[in-house]
Structure 1
């Protein structure tokens, strides 16, 4: 039997969700693999069509490792989560989708098998439209919601944690969730760029955490998201305050999450576990993080770190350092499905992040299948490949931009 060759690439993005780009890779055996990129969608689209497509078309679709190595080592753009790395990540997801479909098994089986049939979920308490706009840089586009804004629906959890975090925790418990993530300190970073945080701001930021403990006690694990907004001294002040409520982790606490020495120093100064970092790209950055003993939990984003091929190497590094992993998702539905396959496969995975607001609404409008949640656990996908496809109507929307490359 001849090797299946890549015959074409199609990218799709829509104005309504301007941060997301979908990639479909077609092969001459009639299969189509699906990938996704997040942030700077138009830049990633350009990399795919101008650089990757000429290299990829005509190649063996089964050569996932050689393609990953080639695309993750461009002459420039290989450091961090550049447009080149995000494009390579989308390609890698699509090739794994093809591999699973061709073998008739889910990706977690194709990677070597499942270590569990379900994984614990935590709900990131975002709203329905969080993080879906274009980003000019930094945190532009991820607008902080104001407590007096109208509630968009029953799962407008970002408003909920500012108004009544205790009631939100009770709502999540009623749906089976036993872990949640909030970020009440974020608004205070804009005052001086996160260089300092005042005592009254600490008290205001701590109020939702205390409300959760008062409402549900220890029935709910709570994570603190710090969004890389803070200087090391400010992050230390926040983390020491968080010790009172025994948070499960403080995530991305300092401005530069590749500053392993500063992060390790912070970790020594606080009893709060540090989680790092969705913002890093490639196994070398995670190796440096682990060697520096700068994190307690390894978080990685499959569309920013290099795809599933690189992600499982990062997971293996974490395992070698006795650190658990927790795949990130606050981006798009394909990323979530791919991340779930990693969380089912990786031996030390402890959580899969979800956003119930997006699972209940616009994720459903884009793809054919989404993960199943039961009792606060996300069930392993059972269909071949990723287990989902882009809905055909997405490419035919009035706000869609579609580009095709073929031989």
Structure 2
């Protein structure tokens, strides 16, 4: 099963999503995906990764993961090196499943969770669809394309969004009503007026539906410790489910201090990469829930080790999804085979919107639960004709024995 060709591709309409297609001499092709910095990822893949991996056995997944995650640079960050290596690793597991005729969850040990409860991140159809800019401008807030414009929804009518989610079976909703205030002070403080303004979102939810839905408070790592705790204490009577990334996890000790003083669970962090970063998070007891992104943390090989470490610390795992359809499908497989999987993040505006423009199949999402695909490998393929679009940006590296 030697690797004969490595392709990378992105689309101008979706400039943040990068795909990698790993071809083998047996004709089987594996599909991987990562997010952000697609041009940098493609450059890394063809400059550094492809020369190391072309001609190698595609089924030596652990050996290749070790090689790519122990390069001289990029071994503990979520930069282009790790994102490219993550996408490549996902593609290798896809190949493994197709070779054996088994869905990915079976290769990871078999079903533990045939279905997993899902919570909805209240992004809109065009959220993070354009290239990211610094700040909290809520990318794509004017992209109303259907019934799931949840970004504008939670900011203006969170009570209605909550009712809609309850009707569809979701047990939780993620919102970020304080981001605007962080930009004013660079996260150093928040005024009483801005606290009250942000709390309106949570108050509307509780006043309309009570405790029928959990509120996940996303803080995007925008705050310094004192301000983050000020927010946490202010919203405590509104019973948030967790505080996600209240501060950047570049100071684990500060994150631990937040967790020790917060009135609800702390969740962290999709922005960390490799088990070594998560080891520090766990050793310092800095989180209650571990979140990882398969396309940023090292791929399936690394994420399953992070899940195992998390279980050893008696903590739950909840993977990130605000990125792409291939990563979502892979996440659901991982959760299906993980005893400590807590919940799967979904963005219903993405799931019913632009994800359907890119791939043929998605994990079944019904009644607030999500289930893994049963096809061999990850079970997701890019739509036919996608590579023929005028906005395709791609590169290819071939093996020349």
Q: Same fold (TM over 0.5)?
A: yes
Evaluate the alpha carbon distance shift between residue 79 and residue 150 of structure 1 in structure 2; reply closer, same or farther with a 3 A threshold. Answer: closer
Q: How does 1:241-280 map to 2 (within 5 A)?
A: 241-254=234-247, 256-280=248-272
Aligned to 1:27: 24
Gaps of at least 5 residues in structure 1 are none
Aligned to 1:292: 284
Instruction: Tell me whether 1:186 sits opposite 2:179 in the alignment.
Output: yes
After superposition, the C-alpha distances for 1:347-398 in whole angstroms (9 at most, x for unaligned) are: 1001111111111111101011011112100012211100111113111110
Aligned to 1:170: 163
Aligned to 1:220: 213
- Tell whether the 8 Å contact from 2:136 to 2:180 is kept in structure 1 after alignment: no
Aligned to 1:205: 198
Instruction: Tell me whether 1:143 sits opposite 2:136 in the alignment.
Output: no
Aligned to 1:81: 78
After superposition, the C-alpha distances for 1:323-368 in whole angstroms (9 at most, x for unaligned) are: 1000000011111111111111111001111111111111101011
Gaps of at least 5 residues in structure 2 are none
Cα distance, 1:203 vs structure 2: 1.0
CA distance in 1, matches of 2:222, 2:250: 14
Aligned to 1:313: 305
- Tell whether the 8 Å contact from 2:266 to 2:289 is kept in structure 1 after alignment: yes
Q: Give the superposed CA RMSD.
A: 1.3
After superposition, the C-alpha distances for 1:180-203 in whole angstroms (9 at most, x for unaligned) are: 100001111111211111111111
2:229 to 233, 236, 248: 236
CA distance in 1, matches of 2:57, 2:201: 52
CA distance in 1, matches of 2:285, 2:365: 34
- Tell whether the 8 Å contact from 1:251 to 1:276 is kept in structure 2 after alignment: yes
CA distance in 2, matches of 1:298, 1:117: 21
CA distance in 2, matches of 1:95, 1:151: 37
SS at match of 1:382: coil
- Tell whether the 8 Å contact from 1:21 to 1:38 is kept in structure 2 after alignment: yes
CA distance in 2, matches of 1:404, 1:392: 19
Cα distance, 1:140 vs structure 2: 7.3
CA distance in 2, matches of 1:79, 1:96: 22
TM-score, length of structure 1 as denominator length: 0.96
- Tell whether the 8 Å contact from 2:102 to 2:375 is kept in structure 1 after alignment: yes
Poorly superposed stretches of 4+, deviation over 6 Å: none
CA distance in 2, matches of 1:240, 1:78: 36
1:327 to 319, 332, 335: 319
After superposition, the C-alpha distances for 1:35-90 in whole angstroms (9 at most, x for unaligned) are: 01101000000000011111111101110000000001111121210110000000
SS at match of 1:132: coil
TM-score, length of structure 2 as denominator length: 0.97
Aligned to 1:43: 40
CA distance in 2, matches of 1:240, 1:396: 53
SS at match of 1:300: coil
CA distance in 2, matches of 1:141, 1:23: 30
SS at match of 1:75: coil
Cα distance, 1:174 vs structure 2: 1.0
- Tell whether the 8 Å contact from 1:6 to 1:58 is kept in structure 2 after alignment: yes
- Tell whether the 8 Å contact from 2:128 to 2:140 is kept in structure 1 after alignment: no
1:131 to 122, 128, 133: 128
